[in-house]
Chains A and B, each alone.
Chain A
Amino acid sequence: GAGVSQSPRYKVAKRGQDVALRCDPISGHVSLFWYQQALGQGPEFLTYFQNEAQLDKSGLPSDRFFAERPEGSVSTLKIQRTQQEDSAVYLCASSARDSSTDTQYFGPGTRLTVL
């Protein structure tokens, strides 16, 4: 594909349900990032992968959040026992190699609403 894709685009969950959000990065991109964007705020870092290795998960807000990228391409962000404060847009981004010089390309996001 031409860009980063995410699915679903919208997700409504009842409090306590588990959700899984998918990210398809640009083909061949080594680095993959997840960010959380609350309404009216800038994106905040959640976690970072280099290929299949999760090198930084310091931004995950609780142990209910889990991310994986088992084959170094597609990534899934899972949220267990969703809470209302988890409502946000979840953005995925990828970059080619060394993101200190490479642009991060963002997907359209998944808007999660927890009722």
Chain B
Amino acid sequence: KQEVTQIPAALSVPEGENLVLNCSFTDSAIYNLQWFRQDPGKGLTSLLLIQSSQREQTSGRLNASLDKSSGRSTLYIAASQPGDSATYLCAVHPILTQGGSEKLVFGKGTKLTVN
């Protein structure tokens, strides 16, 4: 059974600092991995999607890496801003097995506060 773990559960940093959020998953048989942002009381916003054949994706100040063989991904945020404060969720899309479906498997998230 695929399990996704995110460390740390919460992180507080001063404005301007660079930071790294970690995600690990137990089964490397995945189509892709996504990083989402969730603001309080809101839905999920997709930040970056990395296909299993890719090593990293970049969008603005965000860079996500994927090491499928070791079951790890990192989300790097450069020059953090107070507006980056949110919960960041990592999700993997497991490769379909017989009777499986297109569901995402999520970690519990990292709550980021930028002061």
Contact = CB atoms under 8 A, between A and B. Distances in A.
Interface of A: 4, 6, 31, 33, 35, 40-45, 48, 55-56, 58-59, 91, 93, 95, 99-101, 103-109, 111
A111 B43 CA distance: 11
Interface in B1-51: 4, 31-32, 34, 36, 41-46, 49, 51
Contacts of A55: 101
Contacts of B89: 42-43
Contact of A31 (B45, B95, B102, B108): B102
Contacts, number: 70
A45 B103 contact: yes
Interface of B: 4, 31-32, 34, 36, 41-46, 49, 51, 89, 91, 93, 95-96, 100-109
A32 to B, nearest CB: 10
A108 B43 contact: yes
Contacts of B103: 33, 45, 48, 56, 59
A107 B44 CA distance: 7
B106 A100 contact: no
Given A45-B103, A45-B105, A100-B96, 19 more contacts: A33-B102, A33-B103, A35-B104, A42-B89, A43-B44, A43-B104, A45-B104, A48-B102, A59-B103, A99-B93, A100-B32, A100-B93, A100-B95, A103-B34, A103-B46, A105-B46, A106-B43, A106-B46, A108-B42
